[in-house]
Amino acid sequence: MKWRYSLLCMVGVTAGLTFSAIAQEGANSTGSSSAAAPAPTQGIPVARAATPPSAMAKSAADGAENRALRLEGEKRFRTNCGRCHQAPHKFLPRVMATAIRHMRVRAMITDEDMRLILRYMTQ
Amino acid sequence: MVPDLQAATANLIPRLRICYARGGLLPHRGTPPFLCGPAVLLALLLSILFAFPAAAQAPPDEEVKPIPLLTGSTGFIATFDSGEPHLHPIVTPLVLVPIGGRWIFETRATFETDMVQLPGRSGFHGTVAKEVEYVQLDFIANPYMTVTVGRFLTPFGIFNERLYPVWIRNLQSDPLILPIGIGPSNASTGVMLRGGFRADPKFNINYAVYFSVLSTASPVNSDRFAGGRLGIFVPAARLEIGGSFQHGLQDELSNAFGFHALWQPPILPLDIRSEYARSIVGSGYWVEAAYRLSQVPFLQNELRRTQVVGRMQQFFVGENGSDALLPMSTRQFEFGLNYYLIDGLKASSSYGRQFSTGGNKNVWTMSLTYRFVVPLGHAGSE
């Protein structure tokens, strides 16, 4: 009977992974334009102004938002990465993208923290 | 395209009801035998956990494409144990290969030797030990869960999984209780679910549950057990506390449990770490504090790179002995000094005194460690 339970568990996991992959493909195909934008982050104090009429005002608002996200990213970086080791210097963006994925698994940092830290370390 | 789990499970649930109403785990006439039992519920739960949040989740690092990395650490550690010198060069390469938006393959190996002076021969001699510490494939299923299969570091306590590399640890000696709960070669072979998420605006939760199978192929042997670890992290206080549990599924079917805590007071460059572990082979604790002298008002360029470390630990022998643990109850304290030369390069020294019924001894260490990162491809931004 044990092999049946194992088989069923494997089937369940496989089904889940398949559903997940299908859902991911669906999200990519329908939302490719929105995927290029920075990922939304919840609970982050960001100065969000109403849509300004002029491009200059919009640029200023984007700058303020970027600064807020950067500060929050730095804070999350110190809080999360510094728990185990000394904070490393910044790496090249593609190197950092791999390292942060590794640390997401190893240190179990949250999805939101990962995005903010990656943003801080690559911009 | 989003999977319609409601429709998929609508047929299954009535069947399960009938099945359980007619004798719990016994199969119903119209239900295939393998569709009964806890495995069905587990499979259903796994499917839901994987599928639902994934539909609302974009790939994690879509803006920057990751590349394979060769990273890891190398070090040269000299130890004087009761006056006997040991030279201990070590190289620990770690290969990271991201695959697509959600997968990562990672493997770490260790090449090390413990060189000692042999009677009648000049110089130091030792053999190189080679070990694959882990080989695992991770799938980031959703913001709450990562699935890991393969050989992975056993998530019992914090030291083995997070503080073990020589460039990370504050003192080069292992805690006395390190072998408790981590398996015969510090790793498990099987499957693990893990993740971290914000449970409340004030704290995060991280967890790991795993199942390991028996493997007797040295040096990648592992025990058959299941276990888990749960941690709560409070970012404002920079405090993490947690606990680990493990149930053996072979031999004595014994249990092991432990607790851990990490605290970095926000106003001080101070790290406080602690672990407690208990099992049939022994129990004990260690408490470590490391203070970076960056707030000292003089010699700032030098002192901000300097860290003072102290660790106190105690080990108590259990009912069953273990080759990996000390044969008698032991108490030990250590003091160390670390100097961070450049990013990733660290010089360390420490002194420790060990007290046990078998005799007391001094342990001195000096080391130079380096963490390296080599991109395996074009590392510019895309």
Q: Using one digit for the tens of pLDDT, what is the confidence trace for B160-205?
A: 999 999 999 999 999 999 999 998 888 999 999 999 999 999 999 9
The total number of structural domains that make up chain B: 2
Using the beta-carbon criterion (under 8 Å), do A99 and B69 form an inter-chain contact? yes
What's the pLDDT band for A7 if we cut at 50, 70, 90?
low
The domain that contains B141 carries what CATH number? 2.40.160.10
- Between CA B322 and CA B327, with CA B323 as vertex, the angle to 5 degrees is 75
B381 falls within a domain: no
Pull the structure tokens for residue B137.
Answer: 């494939």
- Among A12, A84, A108, the residue with its CB nearest the CB of B43 is A12
Cis peptide preceding B38, ω within 30 of 0: no
Q: What is the DSSP letter of B27?
A: P
Which residue in the block uniquely carries the two structure tokens 């697509």?
Answer: B100
**How far is it, in rounded angstroms, from Cα A117 to Cα A119?**
5
**How far is it, in rounded angstroms, from Cα B262 to Cα B278?**
19
Using a CB-CB cut-off of 8 Å, the residues of chain B touching A66 are: none
**How far is it, in rounded angstroms, from Cα B48 to Cα B55?**
11
Which residue in the block uniquely carries the two structure tokens 């030098």?
Answer: B302
Using a CB-CB cut-off of 8 Å, the residues of chain B touching A12 are: 42-44, 46-47
| Residue B55 confidence (pLDDT) | 40
Is residue B109 domain-shared with residue B236, that is, in the same domain?
yes
What's the pLDDT band for A67 if we cut at 50, 70, 90?
confident
Who wins on pLDDT, A35 or B84? B84
On the 0-12 / 13-18 / 19+ scale of CB atoms within 10 A, B8 is middle
- Between CA B114 and CA B123, with CA B119 as vertex, the angle to 5 degrees is 55
Q: ipTM of the predicted structure?
A: 0.81
Q: How many CB pairs under 8 A join A and B?
A: 209
B193 falls within a domain: yes
Is residue B216 domain-shared with residue B273, that is, in the same domain?
yes
What's this model's pTM, rounded to 2 decimal places? 0.77
Is residue B14 domain-shared with residue B133, that is, in the same domain?
no
B132 falls within a domain: yes
**How far is it, in rounded angstroms, from Cα A14 to Cα B15?**
22
Is residue B29 domain-shared with residue B135, that is, in the same domain?
no
**How far is it, in rounded angstroms, from Cα B114 to Cα B123?**
13
Q: Which residue on chain A is closest to B136 by alpha carbon? A: A105
Is residue B261 domain-shared with residue B355, that is, in the same domain?
yes
Using a CB-CB cut-off of 8 Å, the residues of chain A touching B380 are: 92-94
Domain that residue B85 falls in: 57-375
Helices (DSSP H) in chain B: which residue ranges? Answer: 5-10, 12-21, 38-55, 300-303
Give me the residues of chain B with pLDDT under 50, please. Answer: 1-9, 12-13, 15-16, 18-41, 44, 48, 51-61, 382
Residues, chain A: 123
| Residue B14 confidence (pLDDT) | 52
- Among B34, B62, B375, the residue with its CB nearest the CB of A95 is B375
- Among A22, A82, A97, the residue with its CB nearest the CB of B64 is A97
Is residue B34 domain-shared with residue B121, that is, in the same domain?
no
B380 falls within a domain: no
Using a CB-CB cut-off of 8 Å, the residues of chain B touching A45 are: none
